[in-house]
Chain A
Amino acid sequence: DTGVSQNPRHKITKRGQNVTFRCDPISEHNRLYWYRQTLGQGPEFLTYFQNEAQLEKSRLLSDRFSAERPKGSFSTLEIQRTEQGDSAMYLCATVQGFGNSPLHFGNGTRLTVT
């Protein structure tokens, strides 16, 4: 149990459908990150929250992707009009406080777009 909870664990959807993933951080962790990982690659940064504020969104992220963290606790990542290229593992990671502490990852949500 990593302490960071992600749901669902797996999601299969048809191209063009919308999907939403949820991340529940370790309770005292104020910083939350979303990463995407495809086969044979390392995790790729998508976006970052400090409490409820979204402070950075990757330039590589299309407008079909949106993330929220409304009360500074759980976060959602939505992908609209999914494409086959969106198939990947979506990872949430959190960390407490400030500075350069390591990130703690959840178990991830594996998305398959058919």
Chain B
Amino acid sequence: QKEVEQNSGPLSVPEGAIASLNCTYSDRGSQSFFWYRQYSGKSPELIMSIYSNGDKEDGRFTAQLNKASQYVSLLIRDSQPSDSATYLCAVNIGEGGYNKLIFGAGTRLAVHP
């Protein structure tokens, strides 16, 4: 079992719709969770971080975390063509000050006009 799993997609949604991206992880001790966006040929850029159960909203993005189910998701409201990218889920593995992020393979999102 991979440590961080995501559906590879592509996830295709029409412009203006809600895109829902999901991620599961295996390490019950993980405390920090991140979503990165990566455009083709570019490096990952941080979109959201979440550390406690529940929802965290930032603009059009909402991250949801359920530690009991070992599940984290990202919702993108009012999807735009510019949101078309690969979304990487990253989970902290380690304790104390040692912060090693393990990434899923990413979900490719395509927003069509």
Contact = CB atoms under 8 A, between A and B. Distances in A.
Contacts of A100: 31-32, 51, 92, 99
B88 interface: yes
- Chain A, interface size category, equals 20 to 34
Contacts of B92: 100
Interface in B25-40: 31-32, 34
Contacts of B32: 100, 102
A4 B49 CA distance: 20
B99 A101 contact: yes
Interface string A85-114: 000010100010111111111111000000
A102 B46 contact: yes
A21 interface: no
A65 interface: no
Contacts, number: 67
A82 B38 CA distance: 27
A103 B95 CA distance: 16
A33 B100 contact: yes
Interface string A1-33: 010000000000000000000000000000101
Given A56-B98, A91-B43, A107-B42, 17 more contacts: A31-B99, A42-B4, A42-B88, A42-B90, A42-B104, A42-B106, A43-B88, A50-B97, A50-B98, A56-B100, A95-B99, A98-B97, A101-B99, A102-B46, A103-B46, A107-B43, A108-B42
Interface of A: 2, 31, 33, 35, 40-45, 48, 50, 55-56, 89, 91, 95, 97-108
